[in-house]
Amino acid sequence: MPEYNERFNRIITGNIGFDSMLNGGLIKGTSTLIAGGPGTGKTTLTFHFLLHGCDYNESSLYISLQDSPEVILRTIHNTFTTAVKHYIKNGRLTIYNNENLDKTFNEILNKTRAKRVVIDSFMIDDNYDKKLHGTIAKIIKTCKERSITVLLIGDVTNSIDEFAPVKSGLTAVIDNIVCLKHVGTGLEA
């Protein structure tokens, strides 16, 4: 399966169910907010996206606003560790910890030549950082200009509030919003 579906201008994420819901993947060069509470699969989904690009010789970039690369590797534990280490070693995947993206994002993109980018993570709540909003808007603009597909991970406090991204003002700069939440199986006691 190719990483890019030219007929539909779609970027395949590597998650078959998600790609199916999206009619073949994400539209190339768009920005997508992956919002959800802890443990909803945000990191897993975004690593599928990055590693699928690496599988097809695309450079991928993961930028953590909070954690070091070592913490990220522990977070993904056994699920992706071998593939991530392999792609880091051969230069297809780069993991950065950078809180000063305003000044360094273009430099990082030029160095990595990434076609897939993940920014992890920021809080989406009543205290949403408006300064960060400006940085995110610049990142999205830069990615659009370069036809880079970007996923942003947004942490939602408490139970997921599907309207949190709207309240934060993110809808003005984000192309797509995917809200993840825990769903009961009916087997709970």
- Non-local CB neighbours of 138 within 8 Å, separated by 6+ positions: 102, 105
> What percent of the chain lies above the pLDDT cut of 90?
43
**What is the reported pLDDT for 125?**
59
* Of 7, 21, 11, 64, the residue nearest 179 (C-alpha): 21
Mean pLDDT of the chain: 83
Residue 13 has pLDDT above 80, yes or no: yes
* Cβ count near 58 (within 10 Å): 19
Q: Sorting pLDDT into bands at 50, 70 and 90, what band is 93? A: very high
**What is the reported pLDDT for 187?**
61
**What is the reported pLDDT for 2?**
46
> Which is higher by pLDDT, 168 or 138?
138
- Non-local CB neighbours of 176 within 8 Å, separated by 6+ positions: 26, 30, 31, 32, 33
Q: What is the pLDDT of residues 140-160, one digit of tens each?
A: 999 999 999 999 998 877 554
Mean pLDDT of 124-149: 82
* Of 127, 156, 146, the residue nearest 42 (C-alpha): 156
Q: What is the pLDDT of residues 36-71, one digit of tens each?
A: 888 888 988 999 999 999 999 999 999 988 888 888
